[in-house]
Chains A and B, each alone.
Chain A
Amino acid sequence: MEVGQLQRSFVEYMASLFREGFLDAQFSQLQQLQDDSNPDFVVEVVSLFFEDSERLLNDLTMALDQPNVDFKQVDAHVHQLKGSSSSVGAQRVKNCCVPFRNCCEEQNIETCLRCLQQIKQEYLLVKNKLQTLFELEQQIVAAGGAIPMVQ
């Protein structure tokens, strides 16, 4: 595919991510921080986010699997997840964390499990999207073009 087309699809894709709420303004901020001294900033941060989130989600699954669920621990994990997701601008994931914390406060295992499910879904979705985005970026760079900035 030629560069222009790739770039256009990149822009569209990015716009759709924003539009559909997967990403929010914070992600744009991250992009702004990427410069010559820090060319892979976004990728690095997002990769860290993936690692962190997967670990947290595993911990959460295990914690909710216990016979005596330690809700404080669950809440702490969710808090971390919320922090991470809001730092990268993964809006939907962050939005799922708030009800999750409420369920923890109510100490209701059913609703917690449901929230966990939802967060996992959202996380996988956004991971998917971001990975697609990065692939597009790589393609553009490979084709010799520059990554367009999306405001």
Chain B
Amino acid sequence: MGSLLRMNRLLSSIVESCNCIIDPQLPADDLLMKYQYISDFFIALAYFSIPVELIYFVKKSAVFPYRWVLVQFGAFIVLCGATHLINLWTFNMHTRNVAIVMTTAKALTALVSCVTALMLVHIIPDLLSVKTRELFLKKKAAQLDREMGIIRTQEETGRHVRMLTHEIRSTLDRHTILKTTLVELGRTLALEECALWMPTRAGIELQLSYTLRHQNPVGLTVPIQLPVINQVFGTNHVVKISPNSPVAKLRPAGKYMPGEVVAVRVPLLHLSNFQINDWPELSTKRYALMVLMLPSDSARQWHVHELELVEVVADQVAVALSHAAILEESMRARDLLMEQNVALDLARREAEMAVRARNDFLAVMNHEMRTPMHAIIALSSLLQETDLTPEQRLMVETILKSSNLLATLINDVLDLSRLEDGSLQLDIGTFNLHALFREVLSLIKPIASVKKLFVTLSLSSDLPEYVIGDEKRLMQILLNVVGNAVKFSKEGSVSISAFVAKSDSLRDPRAPEFFAVPSENHFYLRVQIKDSGIGITPQDIPNLFSKFTQSQALATTNSGGTGLGLAICKRFVNLMEGHIWIESEGLGKGSTAIFIIKLGIPGRANESKLPFVTKLPANHMQMSFQGLKVLVMDENGVSRMVTKGLLTHLGCDVTTVGSRDECLRVVTHEHKVVFMDVSMQGINCYEVAVVIHERFGKRHGRPLIVALTGNTDRVTKENCMRVGMDGVILKPVSVDKMRSVLSELLEHGVVLES
């Protein structure tokens, strides 16, 4: 304001002092000048401040790329401002210097502005494109945001599915699975209603089985052939259905628009759909229907990811259900198996009991039946030797014959049952094979000659004379087979031939499972008995060796056999590791019985296994029993006396003691054997053995210790062996047994009885 006033005064003073020939100006021009002056001043101010502001803000920002342009622009503006400022002095008369300054300023301004203009031509497109890029980036950011949203939702969905699946699969109970599915789906998707329709047994209707909100489903049914249902069943995707369809009418009608409803099929996989290596086929035909309803008063719509979730869940439910079904099935199978196991066990025990009962029965009957039989036979034969009338004699003979037959039958039956039990063991011994055959021949010759049959025997030259086997049973087999041959031949001849079987004749094409393996110590004896009798039909041949069977032709001739003979023969032959069979060309053409059995050859390595005792050593031993000092320890007086009598009878010098203390007091190294009864209660007797061992060791010759016991169970034997006893004998001991025990003891130093 002050300057203005000054300027005003200056102007007025200039005008007053100048008195020039300038046109007298009107006082209004003075005002105009004044305003111009002011405006120029402000323009200059503005021009100077703009660059300052620009510089300040650009300095503040870090990223402005065009500083040089800014400088130019600043210069341009400053100069413009300067121009306008200098203009202030040029309103009136001014010196030449001012004019020069003005001109310089203007010239500079012109230069800078032109340069700036040129620069801007380059810059402005760039600046504009920056803007475009910015817009582009914004759009991209928005898109990424959207995608992020989608991914997040998907992840949520995935998590929900996993959780749902986990829930569903954490139980193997069908009901729980289905209920859990509905509950979890309802929760995850915030459904209003969720329901499951299961097909009925007949498969004609769908029954409402589970719902989310209603606790007890009403039991609505809906026919399965509705178009909407077919539509849903036709695809494995979720299908939007109308809220008015019968399957969706689950809620009481409300004021609001019902929410959207979708439905999906849940395949009910049956066990039979699972083949071992295949996946279940999808043509299962049994589906359940799951209906899901959004809340009715919201504007929600089904989103794609929600539908996907529902599909996945439906699949999982199917799998979970099938697992539950499989589990049920396997539990049932296991229960069944357990039941069967129990039943089988019971049956086995019953069978064992039955076998035992039978054996007991047989054992008892054995004795009970044989005793009277023997009485009858013995007494009848005695009776035969007395004076009888012819009728009486006939009667007695009949009695004798019948009772012999009965005795044979009893023996056969008992033998067979023992054979079948496997309790029969062969009595192996060395015997004369040739003599055996000759004896059979001589036994059969009388009967054969009565029937006018020729019997021939041929023994091959390489047949050993002495063999090892069961003599009695081989005789039984031969007698049986030869007897049959004679029995069933009315005329002609019976020929018996025996030879050593070579490998080719060992195999019978009819018995391919029979493998004969000859070795150095054994050979296979082959015996053929050929007869010219009535022969056997091919149908009967397989039944020959079964028990109690006789072919038709035989039965009519009242052969009087038991039917067991051949069965027993077969068992014996099998025990001898052999094979027996009969060949026949038919009725009336005779038959040939052939059997092969394994026999041992004496004089080889198995000599030492011979239990057959020669007479010589026994006598030798008998003499050395004389004066043999033995000690008998037995608590039972009677038993003690008997054992003493036994040993005294054999010639020993016997000392008896009644307790273990007495035994330990009395025993000396002179006693060669100590017989100890261990059936006493308690295990004290075993200690005696230990003490004797300790006391005598090997120095003076320890007395041999033998245990006498009433039972030979494994425990007793083990105990005896453990304390170092030299033998275990089962009471009651017969004289012969004691004799052989003593000889074995003195010869080998040990005796073991099985």
Contacts and interface: CB of A to CB of B under 8 A. Distances in A.
Interface in B626-642: 635-639, 641-642
B646 interface: yes
Contact of B732 (A19, A76, A87): A87
A78 to B, nearest CB: 11
A58 interface: no
B561 interface: no
Interface string B470-513: 00000000000000000000000000000000000000000000
B557 interface: no
Contact of A45 (B635, B641, B710): B641
Contact of A83 (B636, B645, B648, B733): B636
Top 8 A-B residue pairs of the complex, sorted by shortest distance between their CB atoms? A84-B638, A87-B639, A83-B636, A87-B642, A26-B732, A33-B645, A33-B649, A87-B638
Nearest to A32: B735
Nearest to A75: B681
Given A19-B371, A38-B645, A38-B648, A29 B638 contact: no
Given A19-B371, A83-B639, A88-B642, A35 B732 contact: no
B679 A83 contact: yes
Most buried by A among B638, B639, B649, B733: B638
Interface string B641-678: 11101101100000000000000000000000000010
A33 B734 CA distance: 10
Given A41-B645, A86-B710, A86-B732, 10 more contacts: A29-B733, A33-B648, A48-B641, A52-B636, A52-B637, A52-B638, A79-B679, A83-B638, A87-B636, A87-B641
A26 B638 CA distance: 13
A48 B732 contact: no
A80 interface: yes
Nearest to B734: A29
B32 interface: no
A48 to B, nearest CB: 5
A25 interface: yes
Interface in B592-639: 635-639
21 contacts: A19-B371, A19-B375, A33-B642, A33-B646, A48-B637, A52-B638, A75-B681, A79-B680, A80-B636, A83-B636, A83-B639, A83-B677, A83-B679, A84-B636, A84-B639, A86-B732, A87-B641, A87-B642, A87-B643, A87-B732, A88-B642
A25 B649 contact: no
B305 interface: no
A30 interface: yes
A87 B644 CA distance: 12
Most buried by A among B646, B649, B735: B649
A93 B176 CA distance: 72
Contacts of B733: 29
A38 B638 contact: no
A13 interface: no
B681 A48 contact: no
What band does the interface of chain A fall in when counting residues whose beta carbon is under 8 Å from B? 20 to 34
Most buried by A among B371, B375, B639, B734: B639
Nearest to A76: B681
A105 interface: no
B88 to A, nearest CB: 144
Nearest to A72: B681
Contacts of B645: 30, 33, 38, 41, 45
Contacts of A88: 638, 642
A82 B681 CA distance: 12
A5 interface: no
A35 B649 contact: yes
Given A38-B649, A44-B641, A83 B734 contact: no
A52 B641 CA distance: 12
A97 to B, nearest CB: 11
Interface in A66-106: 75-76, 79-80, 82-84, 86-89
B735 A33 contact: yes
Interface in B712-754: 731-735
Contacts of B735: 29, 32-33
Nearest to B645: A33
A30 B642 contact: yes
What band does the interface of chain B fall in when counting residues whose beta carbon is under 8 Å from A? 20 to 34
A109 B680 CA distance: 24
Contact of A29 (B677, B680, B732): B732
A88 B731 CA distance: 12
Contacts of B637: 48, 52, 84
Contacts of A26: 732
Contacts of A41: 645
A41 B638 CA distance: 12
Contact of B638 (A25, A32, A48, A75): A48
Contacts of B731: 86-87
Given A19-B375, A30-B642, A87-B642, A80 B635 contact: yes
Interface in B246-303: none
A90 to B, nearest CB: 10
A151 to B, nearest CB: 12
A48 B646 CA distance: 16
A119 to B, nearest CB: 15
Contacts of B732: 25-26, 29, 86-87, 89
Interface in A26-42: 26, 29-30, 32-33, 35, 37-38, 41
A88 to B, nearest CB: 6
Most buried by B among A25, A44, A88: A88
Interface string B697-712: 0000000000000100
B639 A37 contact: no
A11 to B, nearest CB: 12
Contacts of A52: 636-638
A41 B681 CA distance: 28
Contacts of A35: 649
Contacts of B710: 82-83, 86
A79 B641 contact: no
Contacts of A29: 646, 732-735
A52 to B, nearest CB: 5
B161 to A, nearest CB: 68
A33 B649 CA distance: 6
A80 to B, nearest CB: 6
Contacts of B649: 32-33, 35, 38
Most buried by A among B637, B734, B735: B637
Contacts of A19: 371, 375
A76 B645 CA distance: 25
A45 B639 CA distance: 9
B642 A79 contact: no
Contacts of A76: 681
Contacts of A80: 635-636
A119 B638 CA distance: 18
Nearest to A79: B681
Nearest to B731: A86
A79 B494 CA distance: 61
A80 B733 CA distance: 18
Contacts of A44: 641
Interface in B327-381: 371, 375
B709 to A, nearest CB: 11
B648 A37 contact: yes
Nearest to A27: B732
Contacts of A38: 645, 648-649
A76 B636 CA distance: 11
Nearest to B374: A19
A83 B735 CA distance: 18
Given A33-B735, A86-B710, A45 B638 contact: yes
A141 to B, nearest CB: 20
A109 B677 CA distance: 30
A83 B677 CA distance: 10
B641 to A, nearest CB: 5
